[in-house]
Structures are given as structure tokens and as C-alpha cells.
Amino acid sequence: MLLAGLATGGIYTLVAIGFVLLWQTSQTINFAQGEFVMLPAFFVLAAMKFGGLSFAAAMLVGLVVSLLVLGLLFKRLVVDPVIRHGVLPLVISTIALAILMKEGVKEFYAADAQPFPAAWADTNLQFGGAVVSVQNLVIIAVAVLAVAALQYFLGGTRTGRRMQATAQNPVLARVLGIPVGRMVLYTFLINAALVALASFLVSPIYLAKFTNGETLGLVAFVAAIVGGFNQVRGAIAGGLLLGVVDNFVAAYLSAQYRAAIPLFLLIAVIMLRPQGLLGRAEERTV
């Protein structure tokens, strides 16, 4: 039970981290983040169906295409032309992008849910009476590895530190000779990699369907706020918390109202601790 919650939370965490990173470095609030998770699974399916590739090769193709489309093209074609008009138009633009992606998949691939192969065995293990599904263990392991690698990259490498500097103070970063534009691009690529990973993990469970993104996008944002919008650590805590609470409520309280949990968590956190559980209060700039 707790394990299933942690597995769900692990996926939420990956999506939420990408969300937070985009916000930090480029003030992009990506309303299409959920659709970003929906899409890579379809890249893989399309590569297998039309390209006749094996599952492993298709995953690789899916990842590369995700990096190109959801990272590079998203930044160049959607964010760059609109961000100079402000945050609000960009939010609306990503909403339109979400519609475009959803309709595109529905029109050009399939409107019904597609089975997505899992990269692991769908069996259960017995641990002294407790049944543990391999699927959940794999998800948790991959999520932990991804987060650890990301933390190492951000904190331990030269490029990662430059990215953090860019997020904290772009003007100063530029003065120090950091190529700010390229650092922002890296963030978009990392976000694309994270959502692709989340996509490969979540699709075997929920099947690949064009509407998958709707709840995921909301959950990612709630996780980010609950944890603290300006902290990668916060996104991790928020994602895990939300996943666990989600599974427990569905099991013990009401499966019908499962989708309403984000609302209650969101309002509770905003009322009690608006900067998030682990966040710092953000100073308003005039």
C-alpha cells in the first residue's frame, strides 16, 4: 500500500521537478506539463508501429524525439516568442499547446487507450507474507536514481552549478560570464527527459491515452506548491506526499472523490503555509 503510494509519488515527483525547474530558470508555468507526460509514450508506440523497431530501440527514439520536440522546439517555437509579453500570455499559450497535443494524438494516432509494454516483469514478490509488486519497486528505483543523478548534476558539476546560478539570479549569472541562454535551454532538455521518463513509467500502468495528461499536470503543480515552488527538494517531498495520500484515500475513504484530493491539499497548504512545506518566501520584485 505504502509502496504503491511511493511509486505513484515517484512519478509525480519526476513531473513536478521538471515543472519547478522550468519555473525557476525561465518563469515558464507549463500548463501542458501533463500532456508532456502523455506524449512520449506515443512516440515510442509510433516508432514501434511505423518504424518496426524493437521496444528498446523505440524507447531510445522516443527519448530523443522527446528531447527535440518537448525540449528544443517547445522552447524555440512556443516559449521564446511569447515570454517577452509576460507570464500570463505564456500560460494561455501552453494551454493552447496542451489542446493541440491532445487533439493531435487523438486525430493521428488513436482515441482509445493503447496498451504500452512494460520493460519489466509484471509479477509479485513475497516478503514474509507481504506482497510486493515488481512494477512498483522498479518505478521507485528508477525515480530515485533519476532524482539522485539530477541532484548530483545540479550540485556536483560545473554546468549544474551554472544552471543553479542562472535560476537564482540571471543578471548576475550573465555578468559572471555564464551563457544564460544555453543554461535555460539545458533546463528545457532536462524537463523533457524527466517527462519522457515519467511517461515510460506511468504508461504501462494506466495505458497510453490522449487524456492522460489532464490529471498529471494538475498533480505536478500541486506537488510543487505543497512542497515549495522554488525548491527541487520541495517538489520531491510534495510528489511523494501526494502519491501516498492519493493511494490511501482511494483505498480507505472514497475512490469517487480521489481526484478532489489535490484541491484540498492545495487549499490547506495555501492557507497554512503559502511558501510550501520546504519553501522559502519569495520576495516581490517591483
Partner 1 sequence: MKKALALAVLALVVAAPFGLKPYGIYLLSLWAVMTIAAIGLNLTLGYAGQISLAQASFVGIGAYTAALLTTQGWPLGAAFALAALLCFVIGWLLGYPALRVAHHYLAFVTLAFATLVYLILRNEEWLTRGVYGISGIPRPTLLGWSTKAPLDFYFFCLGVLALASAAAWWLLRSPWGRAFTALRENPVRASSLGIDTRRYTLMAFAIGSALGGIAGVLYAPLVQFIEPTAFTLGLSFNLLLMVIVGGAGRFGGPFLGAAVSVLLPEWLRFSEGLYLMIYAVFVMLLLALCPSGLLGLAERLRDSWPRFFKSAT
Would you count residue 155 as binding partner 1 (CB under 8 A)?
no
Return the number of the residue (41 or 261) whose C-beta is nearest partner 1. Answer: 261
CB of 127 to partner 1, least distance (A): 36
Would you count residue 92 as binding partner 1 (CB under 8 A)?
yes
Would you count residue 100 as binding partner 1 (CB under 8 A)?
yes
**38-46, 198-206, 234-242, 255-263 -> range binding partner 1 (CB under 8 A):** 255-263
Return the number of the residue (106 or 174) whose C-beta is nearest partner 1. Answer: 106
Whether the CB-CB separation of 24 and 230 falls below 8 Å is answered with: yes
CB of 256 to partner 1, least distance (A): 5
CB of 9 to partner 1, least distance (A): 18
Residues binding partner 1: number (CB under 8 A): 43
Would you count residue 93 as binding partner 1 (CB under 8 A)?
yes
Biggest alpha carbon distance in the chain? 60
Would you count residue 122 as binding partner 1 (CB under 8 A)?
no
Cα separation of 262 and 278, whole Å?
18
Name residue 96's amino acid: A
Return the number of the residue (100 or 149) whose C-beta is nearest partner 1. Answer: 100
CB of 210 to partner 1, least distance (A): 12
DSSP string spanning the chain? -HHHHHHHHHHHHHHHHHHHHHHHHH----TTHHHHHHHHHHHHHHHHHHH---HHHHHHHHHHHHIIIIIIIIIIIIIHHHHTT-HHHHHHHHHHHHHHHHHHHHHHT-SS-B----SS---EEEETTEEEEHHHHHHHHHHHHHHHHHHHHHHHSHHHHHHHHHHH-HHHHHHTT--HHHHHHHHHHHHHHHHHHHHHHHHHHH-B-TTTHHHHHHHHHHHHHHH-TT-HHHHHHHHHHHHHHHHHHHHHT-STTGGGHHHHHHHHHHHH-TT-SSPPPPPPP-
Return the number of the residue (185 or 266) whose C-beta is nearest partner 1. Answer: 266
Return the number of the residue (45 or 78) whose C-beta is nearest partner 1. Answer: 78
Interface residue with partner 1, options 147, 184, 225, 235 (CB under 8 A):
225
Interface residue with partner 1, options 16, 45, 222, 244 (CB under 8 A):
222
Interface residue with partner 1, options 99, 132, 149, 172 (CB under 8 A):
99
Cα separation of 48 and 15, whole Å?
25
| Residue numbers 262-281 binding partner 1 by CB under 8 A | 262-263, 266-267, 270-271, 274
Would you count residue 91 as binding partner 1 (CB under 8 A)?
yes
Residues at the interface with partner 1 (CB under 8 A): 29, 31, 78, 81-82, 85-93, 95-97, 99-100, 103-104, 106-107, 214-215, 218, 221-222, 225, 256-257, 259-260, 262-263, 266-267, 270-271, 274, 282, 284, 286
